Amino acid sequence: MNVTVQKVLIIGGSGRIGRSVANDISRYTDAQVTLTGRRIEPNFTLLDHQTYQPLTLADESMVAAAIAQHDLIVHCAGPFRSRNHHVLASCIDQGKPYLDVADSPDYVNQALSYREKAEAAGVTAIISTGIFPGISGSMVRQGIEQLDTAKTVHLSYLVAGSGGAGLTVMRTTFIELQTPFMSKVNGRWQTIAPYSQREVIDFPRYGKGGVYWFNTVEALTVADTFPALKTIVTKFGSVPDYYNRLTWLMARLPHGVLKNNLVVEALSKISYQMTQVTDSRTGVGIAMRVEISGEKEGKSATYLSTLEHEDTAYCAGCGTGAIAQLILSNRLDKPGVWPVEQALPTPLFEETLSQRQLAVKREYQEP
């Protein structure tokens, strides 16, 4: 009996995150995976059941033609703040399920406006499916479901060196330092200065680490998913700590400097070169921490969960690859455009995480 082989298209598959996603899908499914990039030939090794295709993202007709030849499309070509939504729109028009690793709140906010169109077309589109955002949102949902009521969420992330990612992540960091952003604090949306209000927090793997307010997708999507929350804090930091000090200084450059693309590109390249020196000493791992305050059985309670791993890019691949696995196996079908915590039930999150030998450690603290 002939079995139809499913085909997955990874747009931006030549980057480190794209390759991590592709490798996870190849590991946990039988799909044929096409990785794309700007080069004529790949500068990396393909796994079994993987092929490479040159693709120009700005050529919308070329992208639409590639989408037509595949059963699932995964958009990994950041930085997303500078992207339009033609990949998502083409997937909806052609009836193809869509995933991305979008880490820009601006991009995500606009992507969510396609929800009704995707619902009408019967297309499942899940955005921000990597590690943070992605697994982080599922950790919040997992925790809130353990409490009777939840009032505050504090998400914090600590990444060592480059995190195993490439220049695109560096560009994203500097882009998000450009402008203040909004977060929900004490029941009101307030303007937050990027990379401000340093906190020193205990993390697994790294111990005490400094973290700062950072414009993340979760501040937007978690507030939408759980409107009863009064406060949502999202903070990010680096190892070694002097990277935090340098980033703090970059966030305080004269107004407009970080809006210059040439400046952002230069700073990104310098930062990446620096991490190539320190990665051998610090590693490229990640530690995530989710603290939720609320009530359980009539008493005040604090829920704390953590996740850590030696390779941040690997975890991003797991977050996206797990959802691709569920869609390809017809176990996740939710037409519309959704953030991860609105689309992925906790039992499926826990199942796929366990398959990948990633563990969320959890505890309760009662006064």
Q: Are residues 179 and 92 in the same domain?
A: no
Q: What is the pLDDT of residues 207-216, one digit of tens each?
A: 999 999 999 9
pLDDT digits 0-9 by tens, 127-149: 999 999 999 999 999 999 999 99
Shared-domain flag, residues 292 and 149: yes
Question: Based on the domain organization, do 245 and 335 belong to the same domain?
Answer: no
Count of structural domains within the chain? 2
Work out the average pLDDT over 182-192.
96
308 and 218 part of one domain: yes
**CATH number, domain containing residue 259:** 3.30.360.10
pLDDT at 366: 62
pLDDT, residue 280, reads 83
Q: Are residues 194 and 303 in the same domain?
A: yes
Greatest C-alpha distance within the chain: 66
pLDDT on residue 246: 87
Is residue 365 assigned to a domain? no
Q: Is residue 367 part of a domain?
A: no
101 and 223 fall within a common domain: no
Its pTM stands at: 0.94
Q: Which of 37, 89, 43 is nearest to 67 (CA)?
A: 89
Whether residues 103 and 191 share a domain: the answer is no
Q: 299 and 321: one domain?
A: no
189 shares a domain with 156: yes
pLDDT of residue 212: 97
362 part of a folded domain: no
- Please tell me whether residues 295 and 215 are part of one structural domain: yes
Q: What is the mean pLDDT of residues 68-96?
A: 96
- Strand duo 188-192 + 181-185: pairing: antiparallel
**115 in the same domain as 41:** yes
Domain of 120 in residue numbering reads as 7-130+314-355
What is the rounded CA–CA span in Å between residue 12 and residue 1? 34
Q: What is the mean pLDDT of residues 73-78?
A: 96
69-78, 84-93, 175-184, 305-314: the lowest-pLDDT one: 175-184
Q: Would you say residue 292 has pLDDT above 80?
A: yes
Whether residue 319 sits in one domain with residue 308: no
* Distance between first and last Cα of the chain: 62
Average pLDDT of every residue of the chain:
93
